Amino acid sequence: MPFAELLRATVFLTAGGATALGAVAVIGVADAENTTILIVGAAWWLVAAWIGINLGSAERSAESMRETLANARTVTSTSPGMTMPSPGRVAWGRLWPILAAVGLAGAIGAIFPEVAVVGSGYSLLVSLAWRNREPAVLAIEGRDGVRFLVESASTFKPVKLVRTPGFRAF
């Protein structure tokens, strides 16, 4: 699976999680008739958005990707013997913890809306902080004429990449 696509999927998944948890929080607060939770939640969402925007600046995103991309194993050709796992399998293996966390926070948030409020803000923060990582990787791929692919590994281990030949931009 291309690394840039995994990053894009991560951003979309966390943004969707933030939206879903925000909806659970608003519905839960409406049922509880406790608007204080929603006011504090709105303040937390603004703070989380501000932190995420600052952490997701283009410079910080490029810096955060530097070591991961530099440690990529280089493959000189994509030979028929080189098999890569299916993109769906890699995506599922890497992204299921996000789905589990959002699902758990949503289930608990249906009873305790505060959990959904906090989870929504955190998901928003992560989504905004990671929003420029995909363009940083695509810029390096375009500059160097390579493509970074994700190796299949345990969810709880750091991402390992394979650097393959790609189309060089002239």
Tens digit of each residue's pLDDT (9 = 90 or more) over 127-165: 999 999 999 999 888 888 889 988 877 778 888 888 888
Instruction: Give the model's confidence band at 170: pLDDT under 50 very low, under 70 low, under 90 confident, else very high.
Output: very low
Q: Which residues, in sequence order, are bridge partners of residue 149?
A: 2, 162
Number of domains in the chain: 1
pLDDT of residue 168 exceeding 60, the answer is no
Q: Are 120 and 102 in contact (CB under 8 A)?
A: no
**Residue 58 belongs to what domain range?**
3-71+84-136
Cβ-based burial of 27 (10 A; exposed 0-12, middle 13-18, buried ≥19): middle
152 within domain boundaries: no
107 within domain boundaries: yes
170 within domain boundaries: no
Q: Are 145 and 68 in contact (CB under 8 A)?
A: no
Give the mean model confidence (pLDDT) for residues 67-94.
78
Q: Which residues, in sequence order, are bridge partners of residue 162?
A: 73, 149
120 within domain boundaries: yes
Sheet-wide strand order for 73-74: 73-74, 161-165, 146-150
pLDDT digits (tens, 9 = 90+) for 17-36: 999 999 998 888 876 677 78
Q: Report the C-alpha gap between 153 and 90 in whole angstroms.
A: 8
pLDDT of residue 54 exceeding 60, the answer is yes
Instruction: Give the model's confidence band at 37: pLDDT under 50 very low, under 70 low, under 90 confident, else very high.
Output: confident
Written as six digits, the tokens of 13 are: 């998944």
26 within domain boundaries: yes
160 within domain boundaries: no
132 within domain boundaries: yes
Instruction: Give the model's confidence band at 43: pLDDT under 50 very low, under 70 low, under 90 confident, else very high.
Output: very high
38 within domain boundaries: yes
CA distances from 113 to 29, 60, 104, 119, 145 (A): 6, 33, 12, 10, 48
Instruction: Give the model's confidence band at 83: pLDDT under 50 very low, under 70 low, under 90 confident, else very high.
Output: low
pLDDT value of position 23: 93
